C-alpha cells in the first residue's frame, strides 16, 4: 500500500497483534523509525503513549468478548497477553473501574476505546518552508523527561522567570528555542528519559555563562511548520507533520535534534499565537 501513512501502518500492525507479544522496536520498524523517535511521534500525534494505547485497546477488545462470548476470563487474560487472571483483572479495573466478572454478570454498557485508524479529513493542508540553518549553539537550562512525566512546561516557567534576562549576549533577543535532543536507543519504553533544553541562540565563540547548559546543533535542512493557536492543539500539528506531510514529502527525517522556535509572534494561550516547528530532513 504505497500511499498508506507510516504511522497508520504501525497502528494496523498493533491492531493485528493485540493477542500477540508486541515489541516496540517491531512496531517502530513498520513506520521506518527508531523506537525512541516512533514513541515520541506517536505521543505527539495521538496524545497517548504506545504502551497506554496497547493496554486500552486490549482492554476494550477483551470487554467486548466478555459481553458477547462465553470465553472463560482466564482464557481472555492469556489471549490478551496477561500473565495471570489476577493481573488481567487489575488492569481491567484500572480502565473500567469494574471487575471482568461483574461486567459479565450485569452486561453493563461500556465506552470502548476504538482503534486510531485514519479517517477522511477536509482540513487545509499545512505547507512548510524548506530552510537551511547553519550550525548554531543554544544556551539555557535543560530537564529530563519521560513519555509519562513531562517536565517541559515547568522548565519554561523557570527559564522565563530566572534565566532569560541573564543571558545578555544572545544573538536574537526575543527568540527562544526548545531543543529536543535526538537519541537512538535500542530499548525504549514509557519511562525512557529524554532531554529537552529551553534557551536562546548564543555565539559559538563565546564562553557559556556559568551555571547554564548548552547544545550545539549541526547544520541541516529543515521543514519549518507554523503552529497557529494555543499549545493545547499542538499535538494536531505534530500529527499532520508525521502522518500527512512527511510520508508524502519525498524527504525522510534526519537523525538529529528537532526544535521549536518562539519569537514575537508567540502569545501564550491565545488563538493568535504562532510558533514554529523545525524538523530536520534529508532526501
Q: How far is CA 199 from CA 113, 159, 178, in A?
A: 39, 8, 7
CATH label of the domain that carries residue 60? 1.10.10.60
Please answer whether residues 138 and 202 qualify as being in contact, where contact means their C-beta atoms are separated by less than 8 angstroms: yes
In a domain, 140, yes or no: yes
Q: What is the dihedral of CA 233, 235, 130, 120, to 10 degrees?
A: -90
Q: Tell me the pLDDT band of 187, cut-offs 50, 70 and 90.
A: low
CA gap 205, 169 in Å, rounded:
11
> Please, what is the Cα angle at 219 between 186 and 139, to 5 degrees?
80
Partner residues linked to 214 by β-bridges:
139
Average pLDDT over residues 185-190: 66
One domain, residues 78 and 146: no
The DSSP bridge pattern shows strands 194-202 and 274-282 to be unpaired
pTM greater than the 0.95 cutoff: no
| Counts of helices then strands in the chain (DSSP H, E) | 9, 9
Return mean pLDDT, the chain. 85
Average pLDDT over residues 238-244: 84
Q: How far is CA 165 from the centre of its chain?
A: 31
Closest CA to 81 of 67, 102, 96, 62: 62
In a domain, 68, yes or no: yes
One domain, residues 143 and 244: yes
Please answer whether residues 277 and 227 qualify as being in contact, where contact means their C-beta atoms are separated by less than 8 angstroms: yes
Domain that holds residue 45: 6-106
pLDDT at residue 117, as a whole number: 65
In a domain, 100, yes or no: yes
Q: Tell me the pLDDT band of 142, cut-offs 50, 70 and 90.
A: very high
Most confident of 3-7, 43-47, 107-111, 222-226: 222-226
Please answer whether residues 76 and 59 qualify as being in contact, where contact means their C-beta atoms are separated by less than 8 angstroms: no
One domain, residues 156 and 275: yes
pLDDT at residue 203, as a whole number: 95
Average pLDDT over residues 214-226: 95
> Please, what is the Cα angle at 216 between 211 and 218, to 5 degrees?
175
pLDDT at residue 180, as a whole number: 92
Least confident of 146-160, 172-186, 240-254: 146-160
In a domain, 83, yes or no: yes
In a domain, 124, yes or no: no
In a domain, 278, yes or no: yes
Could you say which of 46, 72, 106 is where a domain stops? 106
> Percent of the chain having pLDDT more than 90?
44
Amino acid at each position: 500500500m504505497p500511499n498508506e501513512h507510516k504511522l497508520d501502518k504501525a497502528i494496523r500492525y498493533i491492531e493485528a497483534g493485540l493477542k500477540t507479544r508486541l515489541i516496540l522496536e517491531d512496531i517502530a520498524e513498520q513506520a521506518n523509525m527508531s523506537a525512541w523517535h516512533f514513541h515520541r511521534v506517536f505521543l505527539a500525534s495521538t496524545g497517548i503513549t504506545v504502551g497506554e494505547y496497547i493496554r486500552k485497546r486490549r482492554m476494550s477488545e477483551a470487554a467486548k468478548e466478555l459481553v458477547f462470548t462465553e470465553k472463560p476470563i482466564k482464557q481472555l487474560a492469556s489471549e490478551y497477553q496477561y500473565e495471570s487472571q489476577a493481573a488481567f483483572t487489575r488492569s481491567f479495573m484500572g480502565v473500567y473501574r469494574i471487575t471482568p466478572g461483574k461486567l459479565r454478570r450485569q452486561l453493563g454498557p461500556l465506552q470502548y476505546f476504538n482503534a486510531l485508524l485514519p479517517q477522511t479529513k477536509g482540513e487545509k493542508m499545512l505547507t512548510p518552508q524548506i530552510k537551511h540553518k547553519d550550525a548554531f549553539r543554544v544556551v539555557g537550562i535543560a530537564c529530563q523527561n519521560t513519555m509519562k512525566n513531562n517536565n517541559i512546561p515547568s522548565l519554561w516557567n523557570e527559564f522565563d522567570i530566572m534565566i532569560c534576562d541573564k543571558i545578555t549576549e544572545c544573538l536574537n533577543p526575543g527568540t527562544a528555542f526548545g531543543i529536543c535532543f535526538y537519541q537512538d536507543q535500542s530499548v525504549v519504553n514509557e519511562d525512557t528519559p529524554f532531554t529537552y533544553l529551553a534557551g536562546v541562540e548564543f555565539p559559538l565563540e563565546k564562553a557559556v555563562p556559568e551555571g547554564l547548559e548548552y547544545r550545539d546543533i549541526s547544520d541541516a535542512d529543515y521543514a519549518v511548520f507554523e503552529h497557529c493557536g494555543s499549545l493545547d492543539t499542538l499535538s494536531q500539528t505534530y500529527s499532520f507533520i508525521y502522518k500527512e506531510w512527511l510520508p508524502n514529502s519525498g524527504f525522510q527525517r534526519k537523525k538529529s535534534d528537532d526544535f521549536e522556535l518562539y519569537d514575537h509572534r508567540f502569545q501564550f494561550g491565545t488563538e493568535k499565537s504562532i510558533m514554529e516547528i523545525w524538523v530536520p530532513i534529508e532526501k
